[in-house]
Amino acid sequence: MSDLEAFRREVRDWIVANYPASLRAPLRSESDETPWGGRKTRYSNPDVKLWMDRMAARGWGCPDWAVEHGGAGLEPDAVRVLREELAGAGCRPAVFSFGLMMLAPVLREFASEEQKQRFLPPIARGEIRWCQGYSEPGAGSDLASLKTRAEDGGDHWLVNGQKIWTSYADQSDWIFCLVRTNTESKHGGISFLLIDMTSPGIEVRPIRLISGKSPFCEVFFTDVRVPKENLIGKPGEGWKIAKRLLQYERTNISQQVQSGLGGTPGGLSLAELAKRHRGEQQGRIADAHVRELVARHEMQSEAIALTLRRVQEESGRFGPSATSSITKALGAQHNKDKFELMLEIMGQAALGWDGAPFEADDVEICHQWLRSKGNSIEGGTSEIQTNIVAKQVLGLPD
């Protein structure tokens, strides 16, 4: 038996012995079983944390990372085998966090070895939850207009300013922040700073949304002292790091769209949803018009899945690039279209907001339909993605 086959067997046996039975059902989006990690997150099912800890002990959440960074130091072939076995057994991710999806890749690229050893292991193990401090009241699409200042205080940075739309700031332990260390150069005056949310001078105010949830917050910084060693890269290098992080973010948003392609939040296919609401005739959706809409959407899903796969394979080999803007914009529109279609399929059942006579799954679709409207805004609006594609992918003039 080759080493790789032996490893496959070891992984398979380990999963049988260690994967909690209560996590066999697929993870629903926006579920309180989402393994965000961190000190404040509470799970309705304690097995979420158990699985997180068991995977962390093996370093298998980030198997390609060095052991001293919280990974398992596995070679690419072993990583592939591990991922195949975890996916084949239907295992949920051990950690699903902004730290893992956005911050860790740029730390691996731009941080000093000391910073990697300090910040990567708690991300890999799901011990620290991170939020993203980019947007400000006057800096969204034109992000480089940001004004939050970080002044050199000798052994520390003194931070003053405000962030907005900071998803889950009230649930997070740390924030990765874009700050202005120099006012003379718009882009060249931006730096990338890591800030402990328990630092004196930070105030977090949740913003309530139309979907009934409050993932957004405003974050205020008043004379917050941040140790010098929390700056990633050199002062003024923040814009380069910020743009790279956005490429990782957009790639991840696209992957999430891919994993939800065609399905409802409750795990039904669109066809199953349509049969439930519009009836079934000889195994098909009874309503011919709805049948055609579902078929058209499913074909589009297939085409998008192929494009996503192509872009992912390219970014897996060469790192993410501006093509992440294609899949981000495409995926955002497709997800919004999917929820519009679900509402059309459901008819009156889509009017439900809370409780009887509406089914919990239908109510969830209605909430998520409202949430989907943010898809073409978060991580950079679709208009901005189209601009990036025009300039950086197609090479069109300004």
Q: Is 206 in the site for ligand FAD (CB under 6 A)?
A: no
Q: Is 148 in the site for ligand FAD (CB under 6 A)?
A: no
Which positions from 153 to 172 touch ligand FAD by CB under 6 A, shown as an x/- string? ------------xxx-----
Q: Is 18 in the site for ligand FAD (CB under 6 A)?
A: no
Which positions from 364 to 393 touch ligand FAD by CB under 6 A, shown as an x/- string? ----------x--xx-xx-xx--x------
Nearest CA to 62 out of 100, 11, 16, 90 is that of 100
Nearest CA to 38 out of 102, 131, 118, 104 is that of 131
Q: Which of residues 303-362 bind ligand FAD (CB under 6 A)?
A: none
28-40: b (≥16 Cβ within 10 Å) or e: bbebeebbbbbee
Q: Determine if the peptide bond prior to 357 is cis (ω within 30°).
A: yes
Closer to ligand FAD at the Cβ: 160 or 167?
Answer: 167
Q: Is 268 in the site for ligand FAD (CB under 6 A)?
A: no
Closer to ligand FAD at the Cβ: 78 or 143?
Answer: 143
249 is catalytic: yes
Whole-number minimum distance, CB 376 to ligand FAD, in Å? 8
Tokens in use for 342?
């679900």
Residue 12 three-state SS: helix
User: What element of type H or E holds 334?
Assistant: helix 324-346
Whole-number minimum distance, CB 337 to ligand FAD, in Å? 17
Q: Alpha-carbon distance 199 to 71, whole Å?
A: 29
Torsion of CA 317, 246, 32, 16, to 10 degrees: 10
Footprint of ligand FAD on this chain (CB under 6 A)? Answer: 131-135, 140-141, 165-167, 374, 377-378, 380-381, 383-384, 387
Q: Which are the catalytic amino acids?
A: 249
